Chain A
Amino acid sequence: MKPVNQKAWLLVLPVVLCVAFSAILPLMTVVNYSVQDIISPERRVFVGTEWFKAVMRDDDLQGALLRQLGFSLSVLLVEIPLGIALALAMPAKGWKSSAVLVLVAISLLIPWNVVGTIWQIYGRTDIGLMGATLAALGIEYSYTGNATQAWLTVLLMDVWHWTPLVALLCFAGLRAIPQAYYQAASIDGASKFAVFRYIQLPKLRGVLMIAVLLRFMDSFMIYTEPFVLTGGGPGNATTFLSQYLTQKAVGQFDLGPAAAFSLIYFLIILLLCFILYNWMQRVGTADKTEATHG
């Protein structure tokens, strides 16, 4: 029999150790908590799926999940079209292009909690530019008092913070389209809209997929900015999933339900990304399979 070379295990070992310490062990700790009731450091009781059942029945959690889905969906609906529009409007070459790139990228360099603080001040009706302007226009604006306005302010903040990412991705995608496509379209008499619809949009499919996935995952995990800006309020109008989770785990020290909920949260993100990715892949490859099987 041919001897099997086991040396490969040795080469994989460092990666296995790294992943174990950074991902698997912490995750297992969470799994551990999710099935036990920790009464004190010494006393713990195995409770099975009790915590999972409890959090699934939790109205507050369901509210936070719905709010979260609505928020992430709004983020995608606003940021993706806006990002594409920005990228189309950005100058393609020369010093103007560089200058605009730098300007657009600025908001991406600001730390999350600073973004929250900036908007907290920006929206104040006494000293904030936006708040004062709205107040001067006679609009009663208060992100701490009005639930709808608080939600809209958080959305606006996220759009301000992250649309540039979508714009930069699309800008790179647009630059990768060979000039011959535009020349051919001009010769074929295509309108500006037709150029967008039949050349630019199809060629942007790849970067748009990345943009959608990034923005979806990121907005689904949003924590710092609403925490700094509104603290989840007023009421629980801006309490998204991760903030609800933090309240449970750190605020009330309900480690069991918090751990069970963390796992559910993790699975939701995994599932949604899987569905999104496969759907977007299918949209792209449909052309090819259709052509080969057709």
Chain B
Amino acid sequence: MARIALDLAHAYRPNPRRDEDYALLPLKMSFEDGGAYALLGPSGCGKTTLLNIVSGLVTPSQGAVSYDGRDVTKLSPQQRNIAQVFQFPVIYDTMTVAENLAFPLKNRGVPADRIRQRVGKIAEMLELSGQLDLRAAGLAADAKQKISLGRGLVREDVSAVLFDEPLTVIDPHLKWQLRRKLKQIHHELKLTLIYVTHDQVEALTFAQEVVVMTRGRAVQVGSASELYERPRHTFVGNFIGSPGMNFMPARWNGSGIEVAGYALQIASEAAVLAAAGEFTLGVRPEYVSLAGADDPTALPAEVVQRQDVGTYWLLTARCGDVLLRARLDPDSAVPGIGAQVWLKVTGAHTCYYGRNDELIASAGPATEGRP
């Protein structure tokens, strides 16, 4: 159990000069004791590097890692007392399931009856009790991955348990089950869990706090609703949500904003936007709605596509050069392809991004998320 603080950067090659040379750009963050965190981002964004730095498999080229204020930068995973579960199941072929689960404890000289007790408990949690005496090598991939998870969770005194996309090899229906299991285990054992994934659903359902990463940078740390309502970076807006946020170039025209040649009225944030001059307007498809022709917060657009996605309609409409997507109620009258519609884009959920793609203003009530 520990509070993990990071203040570091990492490059795999020596003497990094440009941003591209870094696997991880300088970052500063901390993981609170007992929290459930997810590192979310596309492949190659540096999330596994960050995880391996936390665990001690990789030593950062700059900066330090500390556990409860103690500098552990140079210590091995074993010395840091970390448990880690990898993307592909790692099991000891010649051992039984029970021996596999007992291995981390046995190596640390835990008494035999204590081992039996822990192994029994973990096996029960992961529903492996019936297979304890089987050879691990002959089991299916998901059972093997459960063994890997079990080996990660079997020690109760670990500083943190790290997961590196542990559910990649698992069937979708089992994935959901195992994820719930992990949440439950987090609840019961109160361990610090850090979970790497590129699947936003996995991240948002598992973690209390999600770290969104892209190109070696942690662009936002926040809860699911913070990431959803106030993406601090256009990348977050685009990556989180399905489909992602709509973005349109906009500028200040003296009394309101102008998008694709149309003047729009805004309710607040006028001062910031006037100062910025040119910026990007972002609005989630969920908050784009049909409006009347005289609505001063709506844009005229031509419907180019409409999809029935079961629980909602996904409407794609063209306004000038940009495509706007809107999620519409399945019960509402959905306009046909080619129809001229007015879509409301400015409102309480609209965000504005500056030239470096970072959030400069949002119309909604200020619920400040952590950067």
Contacts and interface: CB of A to CB of B under 8 A. Distances in A.
- Chain B interface size, as a band, is 20 to 34
A268 interface: no
Given A183-B84, A187-B55, A189-B107, A291 B92 contact: no
Contacts of B55: 187
- Please classify the interface of chain A as helix (H, G, I), strand (E, B), loop, or mixed, using the class held by over half of its residues: helix
A190 interface: yes
Contact of B134 (A188, A189, A194, A290): A290
A116 B90 CA distance: 47
A290 B135 contact: yes
B112 interface: no
A145 to B, nearest CB: 48
Contact of B90 (A184, A191, A287): A184
Nearest to B139: A291
A199 B92 contact: yes
Contacts of A194: 107
A186 B90 CA distance: 12
Given A198-B95, A202-B93, A294 B133 contact: yes
B93 to A, nearest CB: 5
- Chain A interface size, as a band, is 20 to 34
Interface stretch (B7-15, B74-82, B318-326): B74-82
Given A189-B107, A198-B95, A178 B88 contact: yes
Given A190-B103, A190-B107, A288-B138, A180 B86 contact: yes
Contacts of A180: 86-88, 90
Contacts, number: 70
A292 interface: yes
A189 B108 contact: yes
A181 interface: yes
Nearest to A184: B90
A189 B95 contact: no
Interface string A222-259: 00000000000000000000000000000000000000
Contacts of A190: 103, 107
Interface string B97-118: 0000001100110000000000
B57 A183 contact: yes
10 contacts: A180-B86, A181-B90, A183-B84, A184-B86, A184-B90, A186-B78, A288-B137, A291-B139, A294-B134, A294-B135
Given A183-B86, A190-B103, 14 more contacts: A180-B86, A183-B90, A184-B148, A184-B151, A187-B104, A188-B151, A191-B107, A198-B95, A199-B92, A289-B138, A291-B135, A291-B139, A294-B134, A294-B135
Interface of A: 178, 180-181, 183-184, 186-191, 194, 198-199, 202-203, 287-292, 294
